[in-house]
Structure 1
Amino acid sequence: MIAAKHLETLSRDLTKLYEVRDTADVVIEIGNPSAKKAYKAHGIILSVRSEYFKSRLKDNEANNGKQTIRLDDFDEGDFEVLLKYIYTGILPPLADTSPTKLLELLLSSQTLRLPDLCSYFQERLVTDHDEWIRDNFISTQQLAFTNSEFAILQNRCISLIIQTPKKFLSADDFPHLSKIALVRLLQLDDLSLSEVRIWDYTLRWCIAQTSLPSDVSTWSEKDYDVLKSVLEDFIPYIRFFHISSTDFSNRRGLFEKLLPNKMYEEVLQYHTKPQQENGEKVLQRRRNRVNQDNNRHRQKAIANADSVINKDSSTVPKVLSPVAPPSLDATLLTPSLSAWISGCIDHWKIPSSSLSQAYSFSLLLRGSREGFSTDVFHSVCDNKGPTVVISQVSETGELVGGYNPIDWLSTPVITYAITQEAFLFSLQRDNVKNAILSRVKAKATAICYNSARGPVFGNYNAPDLMMQSNQYPKRWFCSQGSYSLPIRGECGAFSVNEYEVYRVFKHGEKSEI
């Protein structure tokens, strides 16, 4: 591993190369032809750092040993920021940067295929400008769902709708919601609306995408066919069998005209002959959200947690209840939690705090004691073997964390470690009976290494759990992708007031720290 001081030397040398550029072999022209500005750069550095430039330079033919690339739609200031980052990995201070400028930088980063910056600018938007996102929700979500690399922004937009679905879905600008965002909403198990209201809102959105007359009584068969063509992509996500028989009866004529014939007959039979079996056709009933306060716990994850732990068990845990945050004088890893984690490591069918545990836990780092910076994490926790990370959410006292069965490492570039044995968890303090367990589903991106971040579980661009940068050491982030379940009810950034890292070793082993 390269020593930190050597990396600093490398960074200084690359900065000199950026500042001088006497040996540059590429000219990049920014702006329109009448007011363009030319930048010199080195093709080898552009190609290594940006897939966009790699592709462009490969396609362009050299002209006297030099190549020219035009970027007509780029802002000069934005390009200078990104070009310096390409050379040096350094960004200017962005604390006072407006959200609209961050969006511009995000789009420019995506154009140049700089995934690290795409994630970074999204994090800044979600962390620093959440109120702005709320105030400019429609335009923000329309942009977010234009590209799969904007997963962090997408997840935040979805979570905002989930918090107050009636507010967003009843709004005048709801028909401007992107199609992908609406599909994502309809797929959720914990969307806290009755199924008939979900159908009504979806129908309203679909009608708004057409030029049909507002008076339904004037519609012809051709008009209904137009609406059916818009509606068909959403039909698989509406849970018609969970619309009450009364609501179904009140809309029966509309259902008959808009649903595929076979589906209509099946739903009709379900409501008129409920004694007949339709088990294979019925989607799971959505779970009404509870405690719609700042905790926003997931009923979905709670209801599915038992099936993840033990597919043969019929026990379904109850919903987590918010409790007062514990005193920071107490250790986050209680005896019952350590026993439960031991059971998860050994794949007990039903991990329990009452069973004897095969593992011991030795405290390596405590945020309030050693510090919350990513540098401290790597200096204390790298190359220590299996570890458990536990953080305490400031707003709720909730504990979220994860188990890494291999070493943590500090790498200058994003690197992944393959493992099937890692897992994430969340619970209210010492309430292991209702803990949520999320195991690996994409082992190739289970653990992520990067010197600029602390512990990262999952894909760097949409991490399932991540400690953010030195600039915001108490800001963490969660999403859902590489692991089976989200560990919080709301994806996105959250604050912690404590975190701890423990080395895990079997009883009888020596804990050499």
Structure 2
Amino acid sequence: MPTKFFDRLSNDLTQLLEDPIDYNVSIEVGEAPNNQIFKIHSYVLQSRCPYFKKKFNETPFNDDHVKVLTMSDISVKALNIIIKYIYGGIISLEKLENSFIFDLLITSSELELDELVEHLQTFLVNNNAPWLRLNFARVYQTSYQIKNFKIIQDFCNDIIAKHPNTIFESDKFHTLPEDALISIITRDDLQLDESKVWEYVIQWGKSKNPTLPTNLTEWTSDNFITLKKTLKQCLPHVRYFSFSHEDVLDKIFPYQHILDPKLFLDINTKLMAPDRTISSTILPPRKILTKTLPTRNTRFLLSSHIVTDEHALEISSWIDKKEIPYTDSNPYKFELIVKGSRDGFDIKTIYEICHKVSNTVIILKVEGTGEILGGYNPLEWNKVNSVWKVTQDSFIFSLKTVNQKYSILSRVKNFKFGIGYFPCYSSWFSFGNSLILRDNLKTSKECYCRDNLSNSSYEKPIRSAEFLSSIHNPPSSDKSTFNVEEYEIFKVSKRK
């Protein structure tokens, strides 16, 4: 067996990149003054990257015997990582943001770096699955727009199989590519009754033909032919022989003209004479789990347009003071009781609706920054008296988003000033002096977070330093004050 000295080879080639002797390619990336020029060797890139091999063949040498390329659709940071990978076969992802890694994956695919594409997908699925779920719509759509995303496609399809509402009840369903829909409905473990699969397939087909009459009684034979052509590749994957008698009558019969006549006859034959032999292929019934799975569609689980079920699991873990967070079954039910766009943004409204309600979580989406801030109040709300209340269990937080890699949890440390009710004093509510909500959350721009003073009621700030106030009651013109784009308050209770 030959001895392989890959480490030394990698190191030597990396040194060649850092000291580009006899380079013959110049790649300019970015715009001045932040642009950067990479001096590289065509033989290295051509042997490692099919994209550059084609590009170099199309690009002539200039008078200095250098091929000059300009790449405007890639960042300096991304190309720097990719060039180092091409030369040395080394890449480190641990300190990179998930959104950047996903963009790097897209770029790697465009550069036809199949080995790197596979590695980045595996890294995201194995190490950053919560981020993929949080950004599911974008991730899933991208996985079918760009080739070689099989690992992420399978990851997404596994989620959809267990939680079909994630895609079938989303506003992105009608834009689903045909091959994506087929990859879902071919799965044996898709947790949907077959009649629902049929309904969604019909719904998808109609969406591709918006001129079809709304009322089925008005359809002509040409209308059925149009729908049949649209669904030609999908129809063979429906498990027709798993339908109940009622569903055949109610759901298949109205659309019988899009099926092959022999198949429709066989469907009816099996219903009336189950033991009779037929020529149509009988697909096996789907493997429906006996245990009911919670939907992944967060709007059904939480009735929320701000937080996801992963966020809810994280908050529930904090409530129970778990060191290891919940990852699947949530022991708490989140009941939406107040919502800004529905009930109004005035603090007085919150006091009126939440009076005497305990164990509540308030979620705030900050206008302009996309931050998701909030807090857990275990005590009953009080709309009558202005008072500080003692608690050892309250906490405030900022949740991970596309722009924030990790959530921040800050527990109460000065129990005497855990929760502040002040309905009669400028209508404000506070988690100590760390998160203060005042007046109209949407328009007054008087909400703010204090910095971590020695007398702070909570362990640490939940916003970055640039957005913290060093004084009490800063003016609305201050950078630390903010308006709320939307807020939601949930009553949290143990599931039975």
Cα distance, 1:35 vs structure 2: 8.5
Matched residue type, 1:23: D
1: distance between equivalents of 2:263 and 2:35?
Answer: 59
* Partner residue in 1 for 2:155: 156
* Equivalent pairs, count: 294
Give the letter for the 2:77 counterpart. Answer: G
Q: Distance in 1 between matches of 2:216 and 2:280?
A: 34
Deviation of the 1:137 alpha carbon? 1.6
Q: Distance in 2 between matches of 1:167 and 1:36?
A: 41
1:21 pairs with 2:23 = no
Alignment of 1:25-44 (within 5 A): 25-31=24-30, 37-44=36-43
Indicate if the aligned counterparts of 1:255 and 1:264 stay in contact, CA closer than 8 A.
no
Paired residue for 1:285? Answer: 285
Q: Distance in 1 between matches of 2:261 and 2:34?
A: 60
Going from structure 1 to structure 2, the CA distance change for 1:12 and 1:275 (only over 3 Å counts) comes to: closer
Note the C-alpha offset of 1:215: 4.1
Secondary structure of 2:142's aligned partner: helix
Instruction: Give 1:82's aligned amino acid.
Output: I
Query: Shift in Å at residue 182 of structure 1?
Result: 1.5
Offset at residue 179 of structure 1 (A)? 2.2
Change (3 A) 1:248 1:40: same
Percent identity between matched residues is 26
Distance, in Å, in 2 between the alignment partners of 1:128 and 1:165 is 24
What whole-Å deviation, never above 9, does each CA across 1:440-473 have from its counterpart, x for those lacking one? xxxxxxxxxxxxxxxxxxxxxxxxxxxxxxxxxx
Offset of residue 288 of structure 1: 2.1
Q: Does the CA-based 8 Å contact 1:163-1:292 persist in structure 2? A: no
After TM superposition, list the pairs within 5 Å mapping 1:74-223 onto structure 2: 74-92=74-92, 94-212=93-211, 213-223=213-223
Corresponding residue number in structure 2 for 1:480: none
Distance 1:261 1:62, change over 3 A: farther
Q: Which residue of structure 1 lines up, in the alignment, with residue 56 of structure 2?
A: 57
Counterpart Cα distance in 2 of 1:224 and 1:185 = 24
Residue type at the aligned position of 1:158: N
Shift in alpha-carbon separation, 1:252–1:85, aligned structure 2, 3 A: closer
* TM-aligned CA deviation for residue 165 of structure 1: 2.2
**TM-score for the superposition, normalised by structure 1:** 0.52
1:136-186 CA distance string (max 9 Å, x none): 222211111234411110110011012222454233433333322211122
- Does the 8 Å CA contact 1:199/1:238 hold for their aligned counterparts? yes
Q: Report the Cα distance in structure 2 between the residues aligned to 1:25 and 1:230, rounded to whole angstroms.
A: 52
Separation of aligned partners in 2, 1:226 and 1:155: 31
Q: What amino acid sits opposite 2:142 in the alignment? A: L
Q: For 1:145, what is the secondary structure of its paired residue?
A: helix
Which deviates the most, 73-82 or 204-213? 204-213
Alignment-derived partner of residue 73 in structure 1? 73
Q: Do the aligned partners of residues 56 and 241 (structure 1) sit closer, same or farther apart at CA in structure 2, a change above 3 Å counting?
A: same
Residues 52 and 112 in structure 1, CA contact (< 8 A), matched pair in contact too: yes
CA drift of 1:53 comes to 1.4
Name the SS of the counterpart of 1:206 in structure 2: helix
Task: Establish whether residue 46 from structure 1 lines up as the match of residue 22 from structure 2.
Answer: no
* Corresponding residue number in structure 2 for 1:237: 237
What amino acid does structure 1 have at the position aligned with 2:203?
R
The verdict on how the C-alpha distance between 1:168 and 1:269 changes in structure 2, with shifts beyond 3 A counting, is same
* Shift in Å, 1:119: 1.5
Q: Is the 8 A contact 2:194 2:238 kept in 1?
A: yes
Q: How does 1:247-286 map to 2 (within 5 A)?
A: 247-278=247-278, 281-286=281-286
Give the match's secondary structure for 2:195: helix
Residue type of the partner of 2:170? A
> CA–CA distance in 2 between the matches of 1:126 and 1:287?
25
Q: Deviations over 1:199-239 (max 9, x none)?
A: 11221222223314544444444433332222111011011
C-alpha separation in 2, matches of 1:56 and 1:292: 53
Task: Give the 3-state SS of the residue equivalent to 1:45 in structure 2.
Answer: helix
Q: 1:106 to 1:88 in 2, by over 3 A?
A: same
Post-superposition offset of 1:118: 0.7
What is the CA–CA distance in structure 1 between the aligned matches of 2:2 and 2:22, rounded to whole Å? 27
Identify the range of structure 1 (162-171 vs 145-154) with the bigger mean alpha-carbon deviation. 162-171
Mapped to 2, the partners of 1:68 and 1:24 lie a distance apart of 11
Q: Which amino acid aligns with 1:288?
A: I
What amino acid is the match of 2:224? Y
1:419-452 CA deviation, whole Å, 9 max, x = no partner? Answer: xxxxxxxxxxxxxxxxxxxxxxxxxxxxxxxxxx
State the structure with bigger RCO (CA 8 A, min sep 6), 1 or 2: 1
Helix, strand or coil: the match of 1:149?
Answer: coil
Where structure 1 has 5 or more consecutive residues not aligned to the other structure, the ranges are 295-394, 397-513
Partners of 2:6 and 2:95 lie apart in 1 by 29
Q: CA deviation at 1:74?
A: 1.4
> Which deviations, in whole Å up to 9, do the C-alpha atoms of 1:38-64 show, x marking residues without a partner?
322101100111121122223434344
1:450 alignment partner in structure 2:
none
Distance in 2 between the 1:234 and 1:279 partners?
Answer: 20
| Counterpart contact for 2:162–2:190, Cα < 8 Å | no
1:247, distance to aligned residue in structure 2 (A) = 0.9
Does the aligned pair in 2 maintain the 1:169–1:201 contact within 8 Å? Answer: yes
Decide whether the 8 Å contact of 1:138 with 1:177 is kept in 2: no
Matched AA of 1:125: L
Cα contact 1:185–1:191 (8 A) shared by 2:
yes
Change (3 A) 1:12 1:281: closer
**Which has the larger displacement, 190-199 or 276-285?**
276-285
